[in-house]
Chains A and B, each alone.
Chain A
């Protein structure tokens, strides 16, 4: 494969994780403006794992995902009762606090006569694991794709299960769900942990693909984009957010289509699309219809 295409596909795969994390929260009815924080936590934790502590990549990625899940739970516990704009703004405040804390964090050690580790607003350089091990970009893409495929398969099973139906009930009407005997608190916390872990995994991969991260990358623009990807691609299936990311990064950012006018065209198309399909291209109704055809 040509290098440009490999880069684009890797990018789509990594951003898909944070889009999926926003999607999981949307399923239980929470709009988050703060998923960039957990992407950032995962990136920093996994980066420290390989670059500072010399851990293997797999372990570092796991640590990134766990750290992000813990972060998301720390946000979910005090904000569990908040809904709509209240939750959205609380998650934004949390994410901005996290970004500023990263700007203030200094944790550098000397390795091979060079300082590595987070250096405040200057960023975190030298996360060179995949280069030092001679891992090819195509091999790294394969890792991203395998992890994403496993995640999507897991979510597909989850959505068909009783738990999946419970999720959508909580998202639809919390009170009604509680009255039907669903433990809303536990359902939402479970979803928060999963969403945090997915964002953190994406962040860990991102840190290793780009070798350099800085707090500014994890600002609210990333968070709102992640949210938008789900609504563009569709909220009926976990493939929706992936489709949204693919349309934005794959079709527009990478090809030089409409150079200079890209956002004018894309922004307008998204607005019109949302008038036509307020819950995205692959929405629940379409999925339901497809399932009926499949059964026949």
Chain B
């Protein structure tokens, strides 16, 4: 029993670190733009499909595939930003969200046109058997995910809190109009945040898909909703919050799966999310989300 709990927690933290990276990407975009990018997961998926294409057509190894995946996600993110976010000013936040949903449908169809079968193999980053520490099984590629997540979070935190660019980013996130008056190019900041989030998402997606060793067209939806749920669990709009939300989601899912099976696992996660949202309204009533800073 104690062993199961420990094993589940370790597994959950490793899966959760990928969720945390997805949540960080969402937080970065939402924090700066106050808009929801539903195409976040599908953009990552386009990157992964391009990676798979390179793998199948040219027999490229894991390193090249990983690079193509991240670059592809950034390219797709650029397209989404230019089409759905940059041209819509002012109060059109809902229009941006719906446009990003329309582009989601577009990207999903593009992916199935590129590779029409239901699933494709994706090269593993590390192909070695799991090892054991104090009786707990650990997969090397999951450990790599955890390591990459920690590195990405530290890098992002340093960038946001210890650089001139980060200062401009925080100013934009806190008050767009004032930031503009101070001479900050808020549109450029938004674009860079968007591309950075896409790169982070591409990295997270690549690690998840490489650990599963396969890709399906459902990945886009999966990544969007896992990232969103993790971000909201952590309390929208802060870097530590996104990380805690992601890890919490991973651990709750691992225990839920082990003790109750997949259906009740999801029920548990959504009940927890619902509770968090409702209670936060009680505590944070009167604090409009626009004042929460990244």
Interface residues of A (CB under 8 A from B): 26, 31, 78-79, 81-86, 88-90, 93-94, 96-97, 100-101, 103-104, 220, 224, 227-228, 231-232, 260-264, 266-268, 270-272, 274-275, 278-279
Contact = CB atoms under 8 A, between A and B. Distances in A.
B266 A271 contact: no
Contacts of A231: 94-95, 98
B275 to A, nearest CB: 9
Interface string B72-98: 000000000001100110011011111
B102 A271 contact: yes
Contact of B30 (A79, A85, A260): A85
Interface stretch (B45-53, B57-65, B106-114, B143-151): B106-114
B152 interface: no
Of listed A89, A94, A228, A275, residue having the most chain B CB within 10 A: A89
Given A81-B281, A85-B236, A263 B289 contact: no
Contacts of B97: 31
Chain A interface, >50% SS class: helix
B102 A266 contact: yes
Contacts of B280: 86
Contacts, number: 125
A86 B34 CA distance: 12
A213 to B, nearest CB: 18
Nearest to A172: B91
10 contacts: A86-B281, A90-B278, A94-B270, A96-B270, A224-B38, A232-B98, A268-B103, A274-B92, A275-B87, A278-B95
B102 to A, nearest CB: 4
A100 B266 contact: yes
Nearest to A235: B94
Interface residues of B, number: 47
A276 to B, nearest CB: 9
Chain B interface, >50% SS class: helix
Interface in B230-246: 232, 236
Of listed A94, A232, A263, A279, residue having the most chain B CB within 10 A: A263
Contact of B88 (A79, A93, A97, A275): A275
B98 A274 contact: yes
A83 B102 CA distance: 23
Given A86-B280, A86-B281, A271 B270 contact: no
B236 A97 contact: no
Contacts of A81: 281-282, 285
B98 A82 contact: no
Nearest to A94: B274
A279 B95 contact: yes
Contact of B106 (A88, A264, A274, A275): A264
B225 interface: yes
Of listed A224, A278, A279, residue having the most chain B CB within 10 A: A278
A85 B102 contact: no
Q: Which 5 A-B pairs have the closest CB atoms?
A: A267-B106, A270-B102, A278-B92, A278-B95, A263-B109
B136 interface: no
B177 interface: no
B30 A96 contact: no
B99 A270 contact: yes
Contact of B102 (A260, A261, A267, A279): A267
Of listed B101, B102, B113, residue having the most chain A CB within 10 A: B102
Contacts of A267: 102-107, 109
B36 interface: yes
A232 B102 CA distance: 10
B267 interface: yes
A181 B169 CA distance: 39
A188 B108 CA distance: 36
Contacts of B96: 274
B113 A104 contact: no
Given A96-B270, A267-B102, A278-B95, A79 B109 contact: no
Contact of A274 (B95, B104, B264, B277): B95
Nearest to B228: A89
A81 B277 CA distance: 10
Contact of A266 (B105, B232, B273): B105
B288 interface: yes
B36 A85 contact: yes
Of listed B83, B110, B280, B281, residue having the most chain A CB within 10 A: B281
